[in-house]
Amino acid sequence: MATADCTVDNLVKVTIFLTSMDDYVAFNEIYICHFPGRRPARSCVAISGLPQNAKVEIEAAGYVRKG
């Protein structure tokens, strides 16, 4: 994002994958800290597992203004 001169303000959609919904409240508290202003659309999905025993995966889509 920095290479494209973008910040979290350029994100329009975030999908969060959690291996346990028991982590949702803690994750949400941290997530909100990273988006103090406008927050992108968001989905949260519970999944059975992630590579390397990760607990969370975040997929984000954004835009770059031209000109």
Tell me whether residue 2 is in a domain. no
Residue 65 has a pLDDT of 83
Tell me whether residue 1 is in a domain. no
- Taking CA 51 as the corner, what is the angle to CA 49 and CA 39, rounded to the nearest 5 degrees? 75
Tell me whether residue 55 is in a domain. yes
Alpha helix segments (H runs only) across the chain: 24-33
> Range of 25's domain?
8-62
Residue 2 has a pLDDT of 82
Residue 16 host element (H or E): strand 11-18
Q: Which CATH number characterizes residue 30's domain? A: 3.30.1330.40
Tell me whether residue 67 is in a domain. no
Is pLDDT of 67 > 80?
no
Residue 3 has a pLDDT of 82
Contact 27, 36 (CB under 8 A): no
Residue 36 has a pLDDT of 85
The total number of structural domains in the chain stands at 1
Q: What is the pLDDT of residues 3-52, one digit of tens each?
A: 888 889 999 999 999 999 999 999 999 999 999 888 999 999 999 999 99
Show the tokens assigned to 27.
């994750």
Show the tokens assigned to 43.
């989905």
Tell me whether residue 13 is in a domain. yes
